[in-house]
Amino acid sequence: MFRVVIPARYASARLPGKALLSIGGKPMIQWVYERAQASRASEVLIATDDLLIVSAAHSFGAETVMTAATHKSGTDRIAEVARVRGWPESDIVVNVQGDEPLIPPALIDQVGALLETNPAAQIATLATRLASLAEFMDPNAVKVVTDATGRALYFSRAPIPWDRDSANSGLVSQKSFAGARRHVGIYGYRVGGLLRLATLAPSSLEQREKLEQLRALENGIEIRVADCAEPPGPDVNTAADLERVTALLQG
């Protein structure tokens, strides 16, 4: 079994207060919580540093954990919850981000099961096939490559794996994205690996790519990756994203 922690903060550079923005009459964080509750998680918690989010969460019956306001990432916030709650190092916790109101519960179950069935892995996450060449070339779409058993080799904003033969004239001439996969940002952690990751300094590759998961790889922490069992829903980072998600939920 596994737990779910939803890290949620009020501040957001592109969409302030997005965790509490209304979608179909409910705050976004409630949609996320209800998706997590529909998974097979044994416990679902909301971790935040904001009393407005605490109040909203209590209004729909969610349990919250107040965490420090200084955390730079959801990983650090969840690590604090694990320490405060005294969870055993072998336990599994899934990080469901607070801006994923359409996340399928099946994906939450899938990432938890990846750690249950791969005892050497400390982190699990998901990927999906890229849909277009434009997405392959987009630095905002994080790509992942794995070995034959599903262990992550690298995550990058660059277009990987690169098909040399279909791009004889360099970057702009690339016409193939066959086999490329986009990383889907849901993570499962074994608590021991989570606590270790939270103590490590930002790594060189992490700082260059601005991808926290590279800190784990650079420090020899195994990340297991599987293709999504269902299509992932869109997350919410901008007002346009919010409109699209609202239309999908209402439709």
For 6-21, how does the pLDDT look when each residue is reduced to its tens digit (9 = 90+)? 999 887 767 888 899 9
Separation CA 114–CA 229 (nearest Å): 12
| Statement: residue 159 has pLDDT above 90 | yes
For 230-249, how does the pLDDT look when each residue is reduced to its tens digit (9 = 90+)? 999 888 888 888 899 889 88
**105-117 vs 28-37: helix crossing angle, rounded to 10:** 50
Mean pLDDT of 148-176: 92
Mean pLDDT of 160-183: 90
Spatial contact of 136 and 177, defined as CB atoms under 8 Å apart:
yes
| Percent above pLDDT 70 for the chain | 100
For 53-78, how does the pLDDT look when each residue is reduced to its tens digit (9 = 90+)? 999 999 999 999 999 989 989 899 99
| Percent above pLDDT 90 for the chain | 80
Domains belonging to the chain, first-starting first, are 3-126+181-202+218-250 (3.90.550.10)
For 79-125, how does the pLDDT look when each residue is reduced to its tens digit (9 = 90+)? 999 999 999 999 999 999 999 999 999 999 999 999 999 999 999 99
Separation CA 42–CA 100 (nearest Å): 20
The DSSP code for 91 is -
19-27 long-range contacts, CB within 8 A, separation 24+: 19/48, 19/53, 19/56, 19/98, 19/99, 20/52, 20/53, 20/56, 21/236, 21/242, 23/101, 23/242, 23/245, 23/246, 23/249, 24/246, 24/249, 24/250, 26/60, 27/56
Spatial contact of 181 and 143, defined as CB atoms under 8 Å apart:
yes
Q: What is the dihedral of CA 76, 79, 80, 86, to 10 degrees?
A: 180
Which band of pLDDT confidence, cut at 50, 70 and 90, is reported for residue 201? very high
Mean pLDDT of 204-217: 97
Spatial contact of 191 and 91, defined as CB atoms under 8 Å apart:
yes
pLDDT of residue 13: 67
